[in-house]
Every structure is written in C-alpha cells, then in structure tokens.
Structure 1
Amino acid sequence: MDTPTLLERIRADWQRTEPALDPSPMLTFITLQRAAGVLGDAVEATALPVGLNHSSRDVLFTLHRSAGPDGLPASELANLLAVSPASVTGRVDRLEARGWVTRTLDPEDRRSWRIALTDAGRALVREHLPTHLAHERALLAVLNEAEVRQLETLLLRLIRGAEG
C-alpha cells in the first residue's frame, strides 16, 4: 500500500473507532518513519553492488572525511556515528576482515584502538562516493533548493526539541 493510501486508511479507521480523537500527530510520525524507511532503502541500494551496507558505508565515509592518516580513536568514531562502542567494534571487525580498515593500539592510550582506512578502503570510498551522492541528489530532486533547506531546518528543529 502506498503511503498516502495508508495514511488515509489509518485516518478513516481512527475516525470510525474513536471519532473524537485527532490522530494527526501519529500520522505525521508514520509519514516520517515511512520517508526514512523508503529513502534509506533507496540509498542503501547503491551500496550493495560494492559489498557495503548502510552501517559499513557510514564507517568508511566517516573515516574518509574525519580521520587523519593515523585514523580515529574508536570512541570518537562511535560518537561521530552516533552509535555505541560495541556497534563500532562489530562494524570494524567486518571491515577489517575485508581489508578496508586497520585497527591499531592508540599510542596515547593503550586501552584504546585507532581505526584507519587502508588504501583499499580509501579507494573504495573514492569510487563509491560520486554514485552515492548522485543517487541522493536524484532522490531530493523532487524538491527545489529552498525546500531542501526548509526540510532540513524543520527536521533539525524537531530533533532539537526531542533531544531537549
């Protein structure tokens, strides 16, 4: 069922079941969740042909943009990815096994690891990044530039409100 049809069905069901109820907030959140899911799936589709998924691509892109040649401490990588350190460990394990990242003890903190891209990992990012950005650009093309900025502004306002 497409999203507009789904939303109308949910609205009608609530109207029939609880006529005094205003389900508008729920419908807005369903719309946000559907948008995140549909767009996330569409973006992830570009990663599959190069052997990546959303989370592994995030690690590679983050290291490419934010790490120097010595990499990043695993804790900083976790913060930049907004995931737990345990999640980073699993992701790095898989990427290391494929030869795209290395893990070395941090010389400044022997309890911590530094994660860095290998030459193969950097080459993969450089090869995949234009395709990824072009696909995201195409998905956003239904909006004009001002609408994209407005959408981002509104979403950030919602996020700030929820984060307190």
Structure 2
Amino acid sequence: MAQTPMLLTRIEADWQRVRPGIDASPMLTYLLISRLQSALAKHVERTHRASGLSAATWDLLMTLRRSAPEGGLTPAELAGLTALTGASITNRIDNLRARGLAERSVNPHDRRSAFVRLTPAGRELADELLPVHLANETALFAVLSEQDRADLRRLAFKLLEPLERAGEK
C-alpha cells in the first residue's frame, strides 16, 4: 500500500480510538488534497529546476511568454496574471533581469510605471522549456481518462468557487 493511504488509514483509526464516532473524513480529504498538491508541485518543478528557476520565477517567465504584448506588461498586470504579490513580482522580475531573461523599460505615458518583457534569451528559454513542461504534465495525468480529468476539473472548481468568493469579502 502506498504511503498516503496507509497514513490516512492510521489517522482515521487513531481518531476512532481516542474519539470514537468522530467523522474525520473532512480532515482526511483535506490531507489527501494537500499531499496531492505537494506531490504535483514537486513533479512539475523538475521542468524548471534544471534551469535554475523557482516555481514563482517559472510562472513569471511563462506569463510573460504567454500574455505579454510586444511592449511588455506592467508589474501590476503581471501580479494580476500570476499568483504573486507586488513585492514578490518585483523580486522575481529582478531575478529574471539578473539572468538576462527579462528587461524593464519606462512607460512613456507614466514615468512612475514600467513595462516588463522577455529578452530574446528569455523567449528562447521559455520556448525550449514549454514542450518539456507540457510533456511532463501530460505524463502526470495519463493515469486519468479524459472523463476523469474533466470530472477532476469540475469538482475542483466546485470546491474552489465558494472559497474564492468568501475570500473576496
């Protein structure tokens, strides 16, 4: 038996021993999803770790490749398209700039603002890593049928929607 099923079985048995009749299933479901997210992240990081990119820097590189017009995006726009905050965006931009993968230019309409875009080296690295990343994620989900993947997305959105709504309040 794999490690997580054994752990969940043990946790459930321990709760039944110390608190008979308690329904530990919400805790067990949360733990399962948490461990799944951690395992997925470790597997996906293999794509960018070899290039010396962190998960956040990888996300920024891919966001710039996917979403930036030729002139680039502002740091605020980047923050809206990634899971990074303003301070984190600045640090990640600086990291990409130090590696020669991104450049910053002053906004001609507002000198307090800047545009960030990939350099040719950044675009080349993104284009080199993207097929590897997609193949890695394809392999990850190969154990699921197309219907399983659709069900997983549907259920994940069903769970996430009220949590995001509650976070907006």
For the criterion TM > 0.5, the same-fold answer is yes
Structure 1 segments of 4 or more deviating over 6 A? none
Q: State how far apart, in whole Å, the 1-side matches of 2:110 and 2:33 are.
A: 41
SS of the residue corresponding to residue 143 of structure 2 reads coil
CA distance in 2 between partners of 1:140 and 1:109 (Å): 45
Distance 1:108 1:82 in 2: 27
The DSSP-based 3-state class of the residue aligned with 2:53 is coil
Letter of the 1:37 partner, please give it: S
Tell me the alpha carbon deviations over residues 7-45 of structure 1, each in whole angstroms, 9 at most, x when there is no partner: 111111111111121011111110110000001000001
Match of 2:140 in 1: 139
* Distance (whole Å) between structure 1 residues aligned to residue 109 and residue 154 of structure 2: 39
Q: How much has 1:153 moved relative to structure 2?
A: 1.1
- TM-aligned CA deviation for residue 46 of structure 1: 1.8
In structure 2, what is the equivalent of residue 15 of structure 1? 16
**Kindly, what percent of the aligned residue pairs are identical?**
47
| Alpha-carbon displacement from aligned partner over 1:42-98 (angstroms, at most 9, x marks no partner) | 000121112212111100100111001111010010011022111100111111000
- Matched residue type, 2:18: T
Q: Report Cα offsets for 1:91-125 as digits up to 9, x if no partner.
A: 11111000000112222222222110000000000
Task: Quote the Cα distance in structure 2 between the aligned partners of 1:108 and 1:15.
Answer: 65
Q: Which moved more, 1:48-57 or 1:128-137?
A: 48-57
Q: TM-score under structure 1 normalisation?
A: 0.96
The residue aligned with 2:85 is: 84
SS across alignment from 2:47: coil
Q: Which moved more, 1:131-140 or 1:48-57?
A: 48-57
Partner SS for 2:104? strand
Match of 1:67? 68
Root-mean-square deviation (Å)? 1.1
**Structure 2 residue aligned with 1:36:** 37
